Amino acid sequence: MGRAVVRGGAAARWLRAAMELDYFTIMPALARVSWRAALWWGRRRGDLRYWRRTVGREAAIANIRRAYGDALTPAAARRAIRRCFQTQACEESEAFFYPELGVEGVERVLAVRGREHLDAALAGGRGAIVFSSHYGSMCLAIIALARLGYRMNVIARSLEPDDNPLHDVVRRYGERKVASLERIVGSPFIVSGTPDAMARIRAALGAGQVVYMLVDVPPELVRHRGRVRFLGHVAEFPLGIEYLASGTGAALVPFTVRRDAPGRTHTLTMLPRVPGPEAGPGTLQRCIDVVEREIAVDPGQFFMWEYARSFWVDEAPPRHD
């Protein structure tokens, strides 16, 4: 028992040292070399996670097969999940390029489509909530829209240890990433659940600005949830987007940042406005329907396959009286 504890402690120390080297030495160094080198390393990091994190990998494969059934062969499911791990790791690597992404830098790596949908939504004078899921390089939308002149306000989760169970190394990396994005948009993130969050969101939308949010926060992390259909099953999602649309009258504009093959460039697509509460019940479902369709275009770019089971709700078996 004692030897096992010692071995476990040594393994944790080695893992921490490797993560420190990766996040704060290797990735920044490769970013100074070239985007191509950084993404090559990102894909290798993704492969390493895919092979090392066996429990997470198998959970993700089981979930994607549960979502798509026979439409996805076992081999295709494994390829998609390997690509999912690579996408996550590459998105981390790209964070070290954020400071250099001015207008010209954004244009080199990101094509913007459908901007007219956002402009039409903002013309209503009540601001716009742009939303997506943890898909592709979603943070590039924050940078691109800010560089195009939109006043961006980002809703995010707290990184504090009591609120977010991240590894300490990942937390420190996340803090630096957030700080970089805050410098670009010119204002601190709006941390959900904090006392001033709603006041800041209402003020931003009232001024005709853009509020950015991701709708696929695991339901166990939020207080208010609504039931929808998601990837073929009953699921629970945060009600935040429906609540904000109802309380502010802001337009709901979905977006997707999709990584293009072979992987260095991206396309930010702004999609047509989703009818909000003014169209009747079902606002959350209408938003999730768009998210689901976008995931289906390339499931390998959806980050949350490992945790998809946390969204799905076990449907009650039929009663036999």
Domain borders along the chain are: 2-310
Show the CA angle centred on residue 15, arms to residues 9 and 20, nearest 5°. Answer: 125
Under-70 pLDDT residues of the chain:
1-8, 262-263, 315-321
User: For the packed helices 35-52 and 54-68, what is the interaxial angle rounded to 10 degrees?
Assistant: 90
The confidence score (pLDDT) of residue 10 equals 83
| Token pair of 108 as six digits | 């080199």
Decide the pairing of beta strands 128-132 and 251-259: parallel
**Closest to 226 measured CA to CA, from 234, 237, 242, 218:** 237
DSSP state of 281: S
> What are residue 275's phi and psi, to 5 degrees?
-60, 130
Q: How far apart, in whole angstroms, are the C-alpha atoms of residue 207 and residue 152? A: 11
pLDDT of 319 reads 47
Q: Are 119 and 183 in contact (CB under 8 A)?
A: no
Q: What pLDDT, on the 0 to 100 scale, is given for residue 316?
A: 55
188 near 182, Cβ under 8 Å? Answer: yes
pLDDT at 262: 67
pLDDT of residue 320: 43
The pTM of this model reads 0.92
pLDDT at 69: 94
Q: What is the pLDDT of residue 141?
A: 97
